[in-house]
Structure 1
């Protein structure tokens, strides 16, 4: 009987460290540009919007209550009139949006060239690629 010795397969060479980390780095870069960066941009625009709230602005709170700002109490609170004679105090950070002011000629007086759908999730790179932009 002839027996041939069985040898273990030779171990492969040590892989390149960069080649093994490359997919992980690429995934992080994709997540940054598709998720993190647009969210930071929306947060920055929201902070700027909150800082620009003035008396007479029509606002919508995070809970969906619509009203008119009657008084800026301090840097953290505003008084909002939600019905005639009914005023509530709202934390500035809980204001979801400021409605655009309409001038008498029917045009948007406050944001002539800005995108009002900025925070709706339809913008960003994917929205532009797949037609989620302006209609």
Structure 2
């Protein structure tokens, strides 16, 4: 309240001529926010969805909890059966697969070959 009083006291005619600049500045802030925050997150979400859709039986994956395994079966209800050791299976959600960690695991496996 006191800031508004001092502003009006310094500029008795009110805020003349500055409102256009304020709207431009606000618009630029929104554009920058969109470019650096929303757009990259949407792009990453799209890549994650594509990664999950392209997953197939026999793929070596890592879950977000750090569990390493091989995809044994892809179920229709959005889950997969993950073989963590021979004959030992876990039923987990497809969304629990980490795209970044799986890529690192597969990159190391390809480099070892």
State the TM-score, normalized to the length of structure 1: 0.63
Structure 1's consecutive aligned runs of 4 or more residues displaced over 2 angstroms after TM superposition are: 8-18, 97-103
**Residues 75 and 92 in structure 1, CA contact (< 8 A), matched pair in contact too:** no
Structure 1 residues 10 and 56: alpha-carbon distance in aligned structure 2, compared to 1, 3 A threshold = closer
Partner of 1:95 in structure 2?
A: 97
Which string of whole-angstrom CA distances, capped at 9 and with x for unpartnered residues, describes residues 13-45 of structure 1? 633532122222111111111111111111100
Structure having the larger proportion of residues in helix: 2
Partner of 1:126 in structure 2?
A: none
Cα root mean square deviation, aligned: 2.4
Can you give the 5+ residue segments of structure 2 that lack an aligned partner in the other structure?
1-8
2:46, 2:33 → 1: CA distance? 19
Q: Give the aligned length.
A: 98
Which string of whole-angstrom CA distances, capped at 9 and with x for unpartnered residues, describes residues 73-123 of structure 1? 1150110001121100110111112443857x93xxxxxxxxxxxxxxxxx
Partner of 2:82 in structure 1?
A: 80
**Residues 54 and 72 in structure 1, CA contact (< 8 A), matched pair in contact too:** yes
Can you give the 5+ residue segments of structure 1 that lack an aligned partner in the other structure?
1-7, 107-135
SS class of match (2:98):
strand
More moved, 20-29 vs 64-73: 20-29
Which string of whole-angstrom CA distances, capped at 9 and with x for unpartnered residues, describes residues 55-82 of structure 1? 0001111111110000011150110001
More moved, 56-65 vs 89-98: 89-98
